[in-house]
């Protein structure tokens, strides 16, 4: 059945996470297919709302349920009680991602992560074994590259502008300063300089779709190539021309088509 012109049903939910309540949103296709839902993991400044129209379009195009949630401290979720631990990329899989799956009744799944969410998605796929049907990374970093550091330092200057800060505050409210500090403080922390996805990548045994913009200001094509070469389940690598760090916003239709084709034959 062609679901592309049908509007998904949308439902909001609250999940009891590891350190507080998490806000989640579920987009369901007009006709249930029984296929594994796609779980979205947002970037360092992201939230459910900042995915904008992408989840609904993804749901309609694939015929799969799509789930997104605000990580603790972001969007509508509860405030984070302290500083973000430097092991946050790996720990998401065992804590809040697991809580979302358990409380929303999600068994098998496809995981799609953007930017640092892509690193979390790798860890989720590695941690969950056969429950993960497929992994999709978009603009994911696999190590702390000079380009990554430079991009974050430039963003730190950008957000000193009151207008830029206020725009981000629309999504994170009084947690906005924490969100910025968590991103900048983590990635520029000297103890984070040696961080890498290398230990997790070979443990991914499902198929992977690896998407990256050639002009990504936070990471060179070294990152997607490392993911594609190191995952254990085989990968399709897509480096998009004339594209920066947010392909799903810059070229939404192309990303939707890539994902739809990739998951078409999967359960």
Q: Give domain limits for the chain.
A: 9-142+197-263
Tokens of 142: 């696999």
Q: Count other C-beta atoms under 10 Å from residue 243's C-beta.
A: 20
pLDDT of residue 3: 40
Q: CA torsion sign, 139 to 77 to 189 to 168? A: positive
Q: Count other C-beta atoms under 10 Å from residue 28's C-beta.
A: 16
Q: What CATH architecture is 9-142+197-263?
A: 3-Layer(aba) Sandwich (3.40)
Q: What is the 3-state secondary structure (H, E, C) of the chain?
A: CCCCCCCCEEEEEEEECCCCEEEEEEEECCCCCCCCCEEEECCCCCCCHHHCCHHHHHHHHHCCCEEEECCCCCCCCCCCCCCCCCCHHHHHHHCHHHHHHHHHCCCCEEEEEECHHHHHHHHHHHHHHHHEEEEEEECCCCECCHHHHHHHHHHHHHCCCHHHHHHHHHHHHHHHHHHHHHHHHHHCCHHHCCCECCCCHHHCCCCEEEEEECCCCCCCCHHHHHHHHHCCCCEEEEEECCCCCCHHHHCHHHHHHHHHHHHCCCC
User: In tens digits, what is the pLDDT along the chain, a chain of 267 residues?
Assistant: 344 456 899 999 999 998 999 999 999 998 877 899 999 999 999 999 999 999 999 999 999 999 999 999 999 999 999 999 999 999 999 999 999 999 999 999 999 999 999 999 999 999 999 999 999 999 999 999 999 999 999 999 999 999 999 999 999 999 999 999 999 999 999 999 999 999 999 999 999 999 999 999 999 999 999 999 999 999 999 999 999 999 999 999 999 999 999 999 997
Residue 24's nearest CA partner among 49, 7, 6, 45 is 49
64, 84 in Cβ contact below 8 A? no
pLDDT of residue 4: 46
Q: What's the predicted TM-score (pTM) here?
A: 0.95
pLDDT of residue 267: 72
């Amino acid at each position: 059945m062609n679901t592309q012109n049908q509007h998904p049903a949308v439902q909001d939910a609250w999940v009891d996470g590891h350190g507080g309540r998490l806000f989640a949103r579920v987009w369901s296709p007009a006709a249930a297919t029984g296929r594994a839902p796609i779980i979205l993991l947002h970037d360092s400044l992201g939230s459910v709302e900042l995915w904008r129209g992408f989840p609904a379009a993804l749901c309609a195009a694939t015929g799969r349920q799509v789930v997104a949630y605000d990580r603790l401290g972001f969007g509508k979720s509860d405030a984070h009680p302290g500083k973000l631990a430097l092991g946050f990329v790996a720990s998401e899989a065992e804590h809040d991602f697991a809580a979302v799956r358990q409380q929303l009744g999600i068994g098998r799944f496809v995981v799609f992560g953007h930017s640092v969410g892509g690193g979390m998605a790798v860890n989720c796929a590695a941690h969950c074994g056969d429950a993960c049907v497929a992994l999709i990374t978009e603009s994911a970093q696999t190590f702390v590259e000079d380009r990554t550091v430079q991009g974050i330092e430039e963003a730190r200057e950008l957000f000193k502008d009151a207008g830029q800060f206020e725009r981000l505050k629309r999504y994170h409210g009084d947690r906005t300063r924490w969100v910025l500090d968590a991103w900048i403080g983590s990635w520029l922390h000297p103890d984070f300089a040696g961080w890498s996805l290398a230990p997790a990548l070979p443990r991914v045994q499902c198929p992977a779709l690896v998407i990256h913009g050639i002009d990504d200001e936070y990471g060179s094509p070294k990152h997607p190539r490392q993911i594609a070469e190191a995952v254990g389940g085989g990968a399709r690598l897509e480096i998009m021309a004339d594209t920066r760090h947010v392909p799903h916003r810059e070229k939404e239709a192309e990303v939707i088509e890539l994902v739809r084709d990739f998951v078409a034959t999967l359960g």
